[in-house]
Amino acid sequence: MGSDLPPPAAAELCFENLNGSCVKISYSPGIRLILYIVFCFGSWLAVFGNLLVIISILHFKQLHSPTNILISSLACADFLVGVTVMPFSMVRSVESCSYFGQSFCTFHSYCDVAFCFSSLFHLCFISIDRYIAVTDPLLYPTKFTISVSGICVAFSWLFSIVYSFTLLSTGANEVGLEELVSALTCVGGCQGAVNQSWVLVNFLLFFIPSLVMIIVYSKIFLIAKQQARKMESMSNKTVGSSDSYKDRVARRERKAARTLGITVIAFLVSWLPYIIDSIIDAFLGFITPTYIFEILAWIAYYNSAMNPLIYALFYPWFRKAMKLIITGQVLRENSSTINLFSE
């Protein structure tokens, strides 16, 4: 899916009988099949993987916590990427045409921007939540409550949706690029352009939460290291039951922070190349070849499919919940009270 792809076949039109139709770039049947398999798998995993996360947290009472409210809302954003963005981007990427009309193209762009920024803000709030939990695990339940978590969720969704709608509906992103937009406009196309001013705004909206997450998780891991050393030095001493409980809570919170830290790293690694390319493109006259843009966009999209895999690898409770859902045991009476934790 890179520069070593064979040259595409002779160009044809997206709509043969329409004037002003976009040029369609056709790849060989083998290449198209491979691309459809890769993209379909990512979309399928984003939809069903995140749906399992949402059902698990909503169904099992043991998982009703402020952190998990944020995680379920994050899974909802990734689920919507898999439903409203990835399938239609797949057709655009493989067929080089959009057959769904201009109105749907605009809706698709709204969803793309809104859901991806929503994921970023959710991850930022999750990192803050984990910092409080690790630094003060016993008082954490009184500091980061369900209400606080709900406010974070509301901000993540409302800000992202309002920003996306305002930017794209006003056409502010295309100011100064009228000639380029006119050249790109054709029947069967679904391409937009973002000018230098707004690409910098997008970068800041990405950079600031990312910087917060990097700083917070750096502090978390330093604190976790100090706590581990302290617990190790006390391992040969007799401690009271309250100290033992505190150690167990601290250990559990550190483990959760480590797993969610991996989720944050995965997000940054997935999205950073696309964000950097967007800046370079805006300031150097949109020189990125189409296939490079598509590769970077799909690396970013695939992040929506990665989180359920991370949870499955590092969260035993998610593996158990997933097994109960898939086997239909959640339909039994009182299944919501099943104990998902080994401890």
- CATH number of the domain where residue 313 is located: 1.20.1070.10
The answer to the question of residue 19 being in a domain is no
Query: What is the structure's pLDDT at 55?
Result: 94
Which amino acid is residue 165, in one-letter code? F
> In this structure, how many other beta carbons lie within 10 angstroms of the beta carbon of residue 269?
12
Residue carrying the six token digits 């150690």: 247
* Sequence-ordered list of residues with C-beta below 8 angstroms from that of 79, at least 6 positions apart, any chain: 46, 47, 50, 51, 54, 304
Tell me if 298 is assigned to some domain. yes
Q: Looking at residue 291, what is its pLDDT? A: 85
Look at residue 7 in the predicted model and tell me its pLDDT.
45
Q: What pLDDT is stored for residue 250 in this prediction?
A: 59
**How far apart are the C-alpha atoms of 266 and 260, rounded to whole Å?**
10
Q: Give the pLDDT score at 277.
A: 92
Could you tell me which residues come within 8 angstroms of residue 173 by beta carbon, excluding any fewer than 6 positions away? 167, 192, 193, 194, 195, 198
Q: Which parts of the chain sit beneath pLDDT 70?
A: 1-11, 227-256, 342-343
Position 1 scores a pLDDT of: 41
pLDDT number for residue 2:
43
Q: Give, in order, the Cα–Cα distances in Å from 219 to each of 34, 233, 264.
A: 43, 21, 14
Residue 157 placed within a domain: yes
Predicted local confidence at residue 312, as pLDDT:
82
Q: What is the pLDDT of residue 343?
A: 53
Number of domains in the chain: 1
The pLDDT value given to residue 110: 93
Q: In angstroms, how far apart are the furthest CA atoms of the chain?
A: 84
The pair of three-digit structure tokens given for residue 286, joined into one six-digit string: 């949109």
- 207 falls within a domain: yes
293-304 burial code (b ≥16 CB/10 A, e <16):
bbbbbbbbbbbb
Residue 201 lies in a domain: yes
Please measure the distance between the N-terminal and C-terminal CA atoms of the chain and give it in whole angstroms: 45
Domain that residue 309 falls in: 29-234+247-334
Which position has the token pair 């409210």?
A: 69
Cβ neighbours of residue 23 closer than 8 Å, sequence gap 6 or more: 11, 12, 13, 14, 96, 186
Residue 23 phi/psi, 5-degree rounding, is: -80, 135
pLDDT number for residue 233: 65
Q: What is the pLDDT of residue 254?
A: 65
Residue 17 within a domain: no
Report yes or no on 5 lying in a domain. Answer: no
The Cα angle at residue 337 between residues 336 and 338, in degrees rounded to 5: 95
Threshold 0.75, pTM exceeds: yes
pLDDT score recorded for residue 83: 95
Please indicate, yes or no, if residue 188 is contained in any of the structural domains.
yes
